[in-house]
Amino acid sequence: MDLGLKGRKAIITGATKGICRATAELLAAEGCDLAICSRNPDDVADAVAALSAHGTKVWGSACNVRKAEEYDAWLKQAAAELGGCDIFVPGVSAGGGMEGEKSWYRNFEIDVLGCVRGVDTLFEFLKDSGNAAVVFISTTAAVETFMAPMAYNALKASLITYAKQMSQVHMKRGIRFNVVSPGPIMVPGGAWDQIRAQDEGFYNSIVAQQPDGRMGDPDEVARCIAFLASDAASWVTGVNLIVDGGFTKRVQF
Ligand SMILES: NC(=O)c1ccc[n+]([C@@H]2O[C@H](COP(=O)([O-])OP(=O)(O)OC[C@H]3O[C@@H](n4cnc5c(N)ncnc54)[C@H](OP(=O)(O)O)[C@@H]3O)[C@@H](O)[C@H]2O)c1
């Protein structure tokens, strides 16, 4: 199946590691030009060099998406460097945490506004594309009770509603909005790797809930993001695609 991604211009935030890095690798391999960021300039330079090996244009610079002006300027430069934007994956998250209001503000500014501001700033480019796709990254912790009450879980859930509403308004402008909700994904050095080091019993209890007895791999989520971003999903908009190997137990009607 031809995904029709060749020559598309994709902007991905937080793409030096984990799921977004895997997505960047896959989209570059499929022929997309890319703009990427993270906060660490050395990591961005290394990722740009590695991603460039696929032979497409790859641009990146350091940016903290929590800083509104810096993020806005970065997005505009990213679109200018690529000459437009067909695909937007705002993947940065503040992660989980239970520090009261601090966590709520952090997750709101990074997880929620990182998507909202990104879409607002890139909107004209997405509209000009005529065939654009936005993919937000939520989590299974948004759709089923998980661990403890947390800003991360509740605010990630807001992305699912926001994507659905945007999908209704903007399909006629050629912009699709979808969400992927990963279950637990093992990223070397990432959240679950740290949990495994700190509390192996809890980590093992999560793995035991997986029908196939393992954490997911970033590539398994990246392939779903690439599909939703591609022409193969041309009539798919407003969905929340759960990518969890069966971790969630509800029936999704
Ligand atoms: N891993 C999982 O189990 C899992 C499950 C469900 C959903 N998700 C979601 O999937 C997405 C990716 O998660 P992941 O676990 O793959 O991430 P990750 O491995 O922790 O990577 C996060 C990336 O974002 C960058 N980043 C972090 N804060 C940033 C900021 N303020 N501004 C710019 N860049 C920033 C990081 O680089 P720097 O730190 O150098 O900036 C890194 O490149 C997130 O939205 C997460 O909520 C993950």
User: Per-residue pLDDT tens for 148-183?
Assistant: 899 999 999 999 999 999 999 999 999 999 999 999
Neighbours of 234 (CB within 10 A): 12
193 located within any domain: no
Task: Indicate whether residue 16 lines ligand 1 (CB < 6 A).
Answer: yes
- List the CATH number of the domain containing 52: 3.40.50.720
17 located within any domain: yes
Q: Which atom of ligand 1 lies at the shortest distance from residue 192's CA?
A: 3
Task: Indicate whether residue 112 lines ligand 1 (CB < 6 A).
Answer: no
Alpha-carbon gap, residue 30 to 82, rounded angstroms: 16
Stretches where the chain sits below pLDDT 70 are none
173 located within any domain: yes
Domain total for the chain?
1
Q: Which atom of ligand 1 lies at the shortest distance from residue 14's CA?
A: 24
CB 51 within 8 A of CB 63: no
For 62-68, the CB contacts below 8 A with 24+ separation are 62/37, 62/38, 63/13, 63/37, 63/38, 63/39, 64/39, 65/13, 65/14, 65/37, 65/90, 65/92, 65/110, 65/114, 65/118, 66/94, 66/106, 66/109, 66/110, 66/114, 68/113, 68/117
**How far is CA 97 from its chain centroid?**
19
197 located within any domain: no
Q: For 100, which DSSP code? A: T
**Please, which residues have CB within 8 angstroms of residue 110's CB and are 6 or more apart in sequence?**
65, 66, 92, 93, 94
Residue 43: per-residue pLDDT: 98
42 located within any domain: yes
Q: Write b or e for each residue in 120-132: b if 16 or more Cβ atoms lie within 10 A of its Cβ, otherwise e.
A: ebbbebbeebeeb
* Type of residue found at 156: K
Residue 22: per-residue pLDDT: 98
Residue 253: per-residue pLDDT: 85
Domain that holds residue 83: 9-187+218-239
What global pTM score does this model have?
0.98
